[in-house]
């Protein structure tokens, strides 16, 4: 998240590079992930453990920044892996594994949004509450991060998800379109509007 903030500060005047992530994940390891899915389909539990180890952190970040609840993020990460496990025998690598994974993850996220709409709850995650006694410099960065989190929550779901997939996972517009079942143009518009919203609302803090 701090990497996003730093880029907002460094590239504020560049609408095409604003929010470009500097945080690198491990490589997609497409071939390895496909092989793991084949091993999972064959009943190898060890292969599922390896897949979870590779993708747990990216999924947690994706869900947490969408829901602002680590408990819910952990639950949806588990739900996603269960769905992946149960579908292993039907899995066919027609696209990058990350595209398949985040398609499943987004469905779980949309289901959670529907559940929240039916049963509103206090959005505050007790695990997120903390007393900040950091030095001034770190305090400011914490304030910026909190402001960015708030701005993300103000975005429509499609804009927020498209932006996170672009920034966190550095996916192409085509890959995001496949995950979200949308056109290339729609994805580009969502990301553009999301960037503008963040830039306008955070410019006084940068």
- Count CB-CB contacts under 10 A for residue 117: 8
Q: What is the dihedral of CA 157, 171, 199, 148, to 10 degrees?
A: 60
Q: Quick one: pLDDT at residue 69?
A: 87
- Cα 149 to Cα 140: distance, rounded to the nearest angstrom: 14
Residue 56, Cα to own-chain centre: how many angstroms? 11
Note whether 13 and 190 are within 8 A (CB).
Answer: no
The domain defined by 134-206 carries CATH number 3.30.365.10: no
- Cα 130 to Cα 123: distance, rounded to the nearest angstrom: 15
H/E stretch holding 28: none
Q: Quick one: pLDDT at residue 202?
A: 82
**Same fold: 26-118 with 134-206:** no
- Cα 21 to Cα 61: distance, rounded to the nearest angstrom: 13
Q: Quick one: pLDDT at residue 104?
A: 96
Mean pLDDT for each 10-residue chunk of the chain (206 residues)? 41 38 44 93 95 95 90 94 95 90 94 78 40 45 78 92 90 94 95 92 73
Q: Where are the domains of the chain?
A: 26-118, 134-206
Q: Quick one: pLDDT at residue 16?
A: 35
pTM of the model: 0.67
- Cα 188 to Cα 176: distance, rounded to the nearest angstrom: 10
| Class of domain 26-118 as given by CATH | mainly alpha
């Amino acid at each position: 998240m701090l990497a996003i903030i730093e880029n907002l500060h460094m590239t504020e005047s560049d609408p095409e590079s604003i929010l470009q992530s500097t945080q690198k994940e491990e490589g997609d390891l497409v071939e390895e992930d496909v092989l793991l899915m084949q091993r999972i389909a064959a009943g190898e539990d060890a292969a599922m453990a390896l897949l979870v180890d590779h993708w747990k952190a990216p999924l947690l970040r994706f869900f947490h920044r969408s829901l602002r609840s680590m408990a819910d993020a952990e639950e949806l990460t588990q739900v996603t892996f269960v769905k992946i496990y149960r579908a292993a025998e039907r899995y066919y690598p027609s696209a990058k594994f990350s595209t398949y994974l985040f398609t499943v993850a987004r469905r779980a996220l949309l289901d959670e949004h529907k559940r929240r709409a039916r049963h509103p709850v206090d959005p505050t995650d007790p695990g997120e509450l903390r007393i900040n006694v950091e030095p001034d410099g770190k305090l400011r960065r914490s304030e910026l991060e909190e402001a960015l989190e708030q701005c993300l929550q103000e975005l429509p779901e499609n804009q927020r998800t498209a932006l996170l997939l672009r920034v966190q996972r550095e996916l192409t517009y085509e890959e995001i379109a496949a995950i979200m079942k949308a056109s290339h143009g729609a994805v580009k518009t969502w990301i553009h509007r999301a960037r503008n919203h963040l830039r306008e609302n955070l410019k006084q803090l940068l």
